[in-house]
Structure 1
Amino acid sequence: MTSLPTFDEMQAAHERIAPYVHRTPVLTSRFIDEVMGASLFFKCENFQKAGAFKARGATNAVFGLSEEQARRGVATHSSGNHGACLSYAAGRRGVPCTVVMPRTAPQAKKDAVQGYGGRVVECEPSTSSREAVFAEVVAETGAEFVHPYNDPRVIAGQGTCARELIEQVDGLDAVIAPIGGGGMVSGTCLTLSHLAPEIAIYAGEPEQADDAARSLKAGRIIADDAPHTVADGLKVPLKDLTWSFVSRHVTDILTVSEDEIVEAMKLMWKRMKVVVEPSSAVPLAALLKNRAAFAGKRVGVIVTGGNVDIDALPWTAPRA
């Protein structure tokens, strides 16, 4: 296993990426607080560069490369946000970027990768196809692989989000983020275990892609190859680095139905006036479903991204 990122590496990432990413705002909603019976603080990474928290980890990885590594460029596989964010970061440093994407990924996310100067190579919508096509890309280009989440540079970068959150909001009892591969949750664990170990860490996950929840219960990684969920950013499995953080620091992983995800997404659009993608609505859906467990508490909610295809919104388009 590659070594885990350290707290000092998260602190270094915070300084390294500061010129290239936003310090995103924290929003609240009195209406949602009343519905919840709790105080929620939404850390809005949907306002981040490239529209997602993944700009943090991608930028840390790209700007941490040696000159020799940077000349060969970077490559990754991604359902969308990491690919767009890596393309953004590569563009800032002036290096080439190739992204392997499922052919079923939202067109808006493919367009974003290309808009930031990245090259898209399509694969079938399964983990096995993604990894096979990616191996061909690396053999062809010699590019530096920046994994979407199982990379210490990426996890350290994602950890800067939780550092900002606890600087912006005092007295949190819990923080919740969506979980797919676990990069954001791992970064949150890295930061909070050092700076605020009293804060409980939760994750939200779709019932139809609940491998992380099943992994936590089983005490080992359980991976699904190609789950179907409206939360397209949460279809990937945990890996060794992220499992190490999740298994040691996460209090619970709360699962929600497809309808609960869509209703939470609609609630955020209507009441908070913010554009969030389905994956980003999963934590709120999980909180609403488990109101009693969070009653009276102060909860940080990491809103991971806002890259949604507005021509195929989940309440207007048929769902699988």
Structure 2
Amino acid sequence: MTSVVVYDEVVTAAERLAGIVFHTPLLTSAALDSAVGGRIFLKPECLQRTGSFKFRGAYNRLAVIPEADRAGGVVAYSSGNHAQGVALAARLLALRATIIMPRDAPAVKVERTRADGAEVIFYDRLTEKREAIGAALAAERGATIVPPFDDRHVIAGQGTAGFEAVADLAAMGITADLALVCCGGGGLSSGFAVGSKLPVVAIEPVNWDDVGRSLAGGVIVPVSDPQPTRCDALQTLRMSELTFATLRANHAVAGVVTEAEVARAVAFAFRELKLVVEPGGAVALAAALAGVVDLKGKTAIVVLSGGNVDAKVFAECLAA
């Protein structure tokens, strides 16, 4: 049986990351509260170092690599946000980093990954297995593989976002009823559930809702019909046993949003919140605005998980 990630691991990660990650604030919006009929606190991880929550898990994982294994560096695979998180963490910790990225990854994510000194190797996300490429490269170089979500240190690091959010609310004398969290492979949503101890709704884009199907069916169900989506950060074909077990242990549920709902959320964040949020980072907000999760009379945390978006895609969302 897979051992789930537990609260003490998130607490340890929070101590390790103190002074390294940004303690992102909780933001409120009268327009958002009015639109959903509840009290919403936004956790803007789009303001995190590298522009997404991924830096939390990446640094937490790299920081525990034994000295004897550091010479081989690290290998990671990512559509962009995990890539940037690993690249920066590796630079800060003086480790060599190689990132395997899909050929259709947003240019801004590729450029910023390289800017932090990482080597980028491209693959086709629909015809090639990034895990196989990563395993072969790691074996050749003696490198440590840093998965985007299938790793307890990564999940615990992501969970510090939930740990922070709940602590900040407690300091205001407020207790949230639930949290809406963006979800691809389940690293952030499972970590957030552990770190916040709140009921979590994992939000996915339509046609990429394997986590929701898996939680509903009690067994991991891969994406069966992958379709184009602006939510490049959430194009994960299969969750892991670890994220599945951790989400189930914390009684998480899931919700789905459409491409149109995501575009409206990106536009809302820009116009009302003055924030740049990428489509994959806006799915939780999209679920709130579209009523996918009923928030009337409730106090909720809504995560904005990333802000790394190409100008063309961002403009399309604003126009939509």
* TM-score normalised by L of structure 2: 0.93
Question: Taking structure 1 as reference, are residues 19 and 2 closer, same or farther at Cα in structure 2, changes over 3 Å only?
Answer: farther
User: Counterpart of 1:177?
Assistant: 181
2:101 alignment partner, SS class: strand
User: Are 1:185 and 1:203, in contact at CA under 8 Å, matched by a contact in 2?
Assistant: yes
Question: Taking structure 1 as reference, are residues 251 and 133 closer, same or farther at Cα in structure 2, changes over 3 Å only?
Answer: closer
Mapped partners of 1:241, 1:44: distance in 2: 26
CA-CA distance at 1:227 after TM superposition = 4.1
User: Are 2:220 and 2:244, in contact at CA under 8 Å, matched by a contact in 1?
Assistant: yes
Count of residue pairs the alignment pairs up: 314
User: Counterpart of 2:301?
Assistant: 300
Mapped partners of 1:9, 1:129: distance in 2: 30
1:245 equivalenced with 2:246 (yes/no): yes
Stretch of structure 1 that moved more, 171-180 or 289-298: 289-298
Residue-by-residue CA offset, 1:221-267 (whole Å, 9 max, x unaligned): 11127442111111112100000022232442111110011011111
CA-CA distance at 1:314 after TM superposition = 5.7
Question: Taking structure 1 as reference, are residues 58 and 127 closer, same or farther at Cα in structure 2, changes over 3 Å only?
Answer: farther
Mapped partners of 1:150, 1:292: distance in 2: 27
Residue-by-residue CA offset, 1:78-131 (whole Å, 9 max, x unaligned): 010001100100100111001000001101111111011111000002384322
User: Are 1:228 and 1:235, in contact at CA under 8 Å, matched by a contact in 2?
Assistant: no
Mapped partners of 1:56, 1:101: distance in 2: 19
1:133 alignment partner, SS class: helix
Give the ranges of 4+ consecutive aligned residues of structure 1 lying more than 6 Å apart after TM superposition: 316-319
Stretch of structure 1 that moved more, 236-245 or 247-256: 247-256
- Structure 2 unmatched ranges of 5 or more: none
Stretch of structure 1 that moved more, 310-319 or 48-57: 310-319
User: Are 1:73 and 1:144, in contact at CA under 8 Å, matched by a contact in 2?
Assistant: yes
User: Are 1:202 and 1:250, in contact at CA under 8 Å, matched by a contact in 2?
Assistant: no
Residue-by-residue CA offset, 1:1-60 (whole Å, 9 max, x unaligned): 664333222111111111311001111110111111111100111111111101111010
Whichever residue aligns with residue 201 of structure 1, its letter is V
CA-CA distance at 1:308 after TM superposition = 0.8
Question: Taking structure 1 as reference, are residues 129 and 121 closer, same or farther at Cα in structure 2, changes over 3 Å only?
Answer: same
Alignment of 1:227-246 (within 5 A): 227-236=227-236, 237-246=238-247
Mapped partners of 2:292, 2:34: distance in 1: 11
* TM-score normalised by L of structure 1: 0.93
Stretch of structure 1 that moved more, 249-258 or 18-27: 249-258
- Structure 1 unmatched ranges of 5 or more: 194-198
User: Counterpart of 2:258?
Assistant: 257
Mapped partners of 1:127, 1:296: distance in 2: 46
User: Are 1:277 and 1:305, in contact at CA under 8 Å, matched by a contact in 2?
Assistant: yes
User: Counterpart of 1:94?
Assistant: 94
CA-CA distance at 1:285 after TM superposition = 1.2
CA-CA distance at 1:318 after TM superposition = 11
Alignment of 1:32-111 (within 5 A): 32-111=32-111
Whichever residue aligns with residue 162 of structure 1, its letter is G
RMSD in angstroms over aligned alpha carbons? 2.0
